[in-house]
Amino acid sequence: MMLMLAISIALCLLTFVHADDTLTLDALCVAGQCIQGSFNVSLGATLPGASGSKIVLLPDQYTSTNTPQLVRTALGTEFPTPVPGFNLTNTTSLPFTIEPNVAMIAFGGAQFQSRLSSMNPISPSPNTSFSPPNATQLNARSVVMGSGAWAALGSQVGNLNQRTILWETVTDMGELPSGAIGSDLSLLDLQYGTCSPPCSGAGVCTSIGICACPLGFTGASCETCQSGFFGPSCQPCSAGCITCDDGPTGSGKCLSAPTNTSSSCNCLNGVCSPSGTCQCNAGWGPGSNGTACSACAPGFFLDATGSCEVCQIGCTTCSSGSGICTSCLPGFSVSPSDNTACVPSTQLAAATTCPDGQYWSGTGCATCSPVCETCNGPLSTNCVVCGVGRFSFNGTCVSIASDGTCSPPSSSSPATLVANNAKQECDTCPPKCTKCGIPGFNVASAFSSVQCTACLPGYVLSQGQCVSQCPTGTFVSTTDNFSCAACDSSCSTCAGSSTFCLQCSQASQFALNGACSATCPPGTFSSSGACLPCNADCATCSGSSFSQCTSCSASRPVISGQGRCLPTCGQAQYYDSSTSSCQSCDSSCSSCFGPGGSSCLACADKTKVISAGSCVAATCSSNSTVVAALGLCLSDLVTVPSNNSAVAPDAQPTNPNTGTPATLSTVTTQVLAWWQILLMALGGAFILLLLMILWRRWARKRRAQETREFAHDMDRKQWHHRLRAAFGMGREKAPKDVFVEPYRERIEDWELRSLRSEARSQGSRGARSRGSDRSRSEGRRDSWESISTLQLRGATPHSGRFEYRDLQESLRSKRSRLEPREPIRERSLQRLSATSSSYYASTRHTASPSPPRSAPRSERSAIPHSIPRKAPTYPPGFNPQQIDNWLTPNNTGPGESRNVQTPDYLVPLHDEAGASSSHLPLGQYLTPTPTGSSGNTNNPFRPKAF
């Protein structure tokens, strides 16, 4: 049952929810006017209204003088919430402006129905590469343009690919000039026009007027390449290349060795080991700033070439640049004749000089070690000048190889030392060399003839020297990626390979993509013997700059006076392809597609609207105005019914121009759809049926409850009386015969009075008086029926006794409650008297057994009982002992039998044969045949056992 109730309520609620949509008094407003009704637009900002309604504020400037009263009232409790794609310039109070914060909002239907998406220019990131997006399919019928934004739309018009620039909001694409928009509409470009100077093709103008450049581009207009990027699209050079042929006109070929990876371990003149530590070249050590291999180690000084040379023999420290010795080894002193060298102190103190191979021992000259040419002691570590084939290194004489390289003091050293005949010691390699030698070394070899054989990372080997870039006419060999190789004879400069010419040897030829050509093709220009590509904005050019274009591509067709190719003309101009120039629009247009007043894309007069490309006067209904930001009537967006009687006077806005109240229309009840009416009817019928079912269940339960209460009262009386009798406090029980007799006498009195009254009325009254007597007789009969023997016996089926107060309760109950079965009325028996007298005659003696003999009146008066006694009055010849053998209904036959003087009920009953019928068992009634005209009857005399 609860489920049925829930279903019915849901059906009704669903219907009312659908109906309520049409009853909501939403308002669509602009500055100066509101219209209430139904609409479906997603523009501007929303504001809660009264009674759950919604107020939508369209894009406009709202001030304290032009804001409608309806809006001002709502602003007292809450401020507008912008719709996505819009913002408010002031979020706290008036005045404020609602405007788009995106470049374009597209709608699938005309008049801004079915919003599709909001779009902004795809701004590139300076840390990521970027390519202009491809054309995007655009199934739009209307668009809202942000301030200063423009969109390039492409479509198919016949066999032509049409390109149209939109600067302002379009209400309906179908109202634009013929040929402006065709089929297969797509978005080609979307930008803001607020950047000055305009961005190049690689950059994107943002809403703040700054060109956003992608990775590889730089400049105020993103017109050139960053270092390490080359070509018109500014691609990155090869990985690991320090320098390459970069720039917008570069080839990208690597001009140097792979990048120095030593910087990863903060190593300047050394090599980073796999473990991350720096191994310095010979003569180098950590600098004062913590950078590894950035300063000369002790015993070395920095010369003019940037190399750390070894100090003279015996000198432990010397000055950078000059090599002047500032400290000497123990036993040595600065030479008086050469301040860059140190000599043994004994040699200065001795009176005589010992020859080579001997030293002064204090008493005379002693022999040196065999490895020493000169010495200051007997040991091999006391050598001043080493012997033939050996050179000094940190006080030790070491052997040399055939190329003059010294054996390194430890195998862990990454660099080698080379013999310096002038110093008689091992010296460092030239700058940036990790290995070097002197081809064909001998005692006469000059140190300047040393040749590098390996370089630090980031340097290339060119003619025995480590340089950062190969000189002209050479290129970095792809064989080892660090040595410079010679170019082919056809190239004066080359890169990547000997035949990839950057410049040709012959002056009449131009290098083009590595080859030599007699002329430069379109899209390139000649410079320094090479054909270089134009800037990406130009179709043809006279130089590498983006402002040196001589013709433009289709994507940027407009060439400016400064030699630049631009994607569009100004907002009030159109591109004339015949002259390749920008021309002014007609005065009626704020933006246009072509010449004349029928090519407008937007109107200069904001009170007019576009119709087939022309600006015409608006025909607005409901006294509404044109929404300047949208280019259509406010009433075109709202469904306004003719009945606007619900407008409150104080809700009408005031027109700021005229000072008169503006019309504020409202929507009332609209006609429901057929399915809504059907649904409401079904729901109402279902609820009515449900209520009837619930009422019947309630009535049955109430009747059952009353029956249970009655039975409970009877049972309660029974055991209550018995309990009182058990203690001798109750009335004395009377046998059945005893209490039946007094009650029977009471019945006899009522019957006799009825009989006498009926007998008197038979002869003295007419038809009219008989009707009145019947009414009185029915009243008496009702009283009798209410206390009949049947009711008496049914009231106390268990007790076997009857008290007067039980009779009173039975009478009150009969008067106050409806009986389950209505007893037979007197007039029903009268209708049967004429036709059924034989039946009553045959059954009169069998109606009930003869009652037992009553006690004498004097004895009965002594029997205690609760029914008061009254002496009965009998008609002449009436025997009260035969009361059980008589029936007492009135005349039950047809109307003609009522004229009989003697009533039928005084005739003794007998059967058809005249013999008396046998008596029925005690406690049962006779069941007569149907006594009415139909088979159904309310006869109470059916067999029923008590």
Is the CA virtual torsion 307, 308, 311, 317 positive or negative?
A: positive
Give CA–CA dist 505/776, Å, rounded.
151
Residue with tokens 């036709």: 835
Stated as kind and residue range, the H or E segment containing 630 is none
| Among candidate residues 545, 541, 596, 601, the one with its CA nearest the CA of residue 568 | 601
- Which of 109-113, 605-609, 662-666, 774-778 is predicted least confidently? 662-666
Looking at residue 720, its pLDDT comes to 59
Strands (E) across 243-321 are located at 270-272, 278-280, 284-285, 295-296, 300-302, 308-310, 315-318
Assess whether pLDDT exceeds 50 at residue 52. Answer: yes
pLDDT at 490 over 70: yes
pLDDT of the residue at 879? 58
The more confidently predicted of residues 905 and 331 is 331
Which tokens sit at 770? 């008989």
CA–CA separation, 892 and 835 (whole Å): 8
- Residue 220 has φ and ψ, to the nearest 5°, of -60, -30
Sorted by sequence, the CB contacts under 8 Å of residue 812 that are 6+ apart come out as none
- Cis before 344? omega within 30: no
Task: Give the list of residues 6+ apart from residue 371 with CB closer than 8 angstroms, or none.
Answer: 380, 383, 386, 387, 390, 397
**864-887 tens-digit pLDDT:** 444 444 455 555 655 555 544 444
CATH code of the domain made up of 102-221: 2.60.20.10
Task: Read off the pLDDT of residues 349-405 as tens digits, 9 standing for 90 and up.
Answer: 555 678 888 888 878 888 998 889 888 888 888 888 888 888 888 778 888 888 888
What percent of the chain has a predicted confidence (pLDDT) above 90? 32
Q: Where are the domains of the chain?
A: 1-20+674-727, 24-101+622-668, 102-221, 731-906
Q: Return the ∠ at Cα 770 (arms to 765 and 772), rounded to 5°.
A: 120
**CB-based contact 376:385 (threshold 8 Å):** no
Task: Of 130-134, 455-459, 846-850, give the lowest mean pLDDT range.
Answer: 846-850
The residue ranking higher by pLDDT, 867 or 561, is 561
Q: Are 251 and 495 in contact (CB under 8 A)?
A: yes
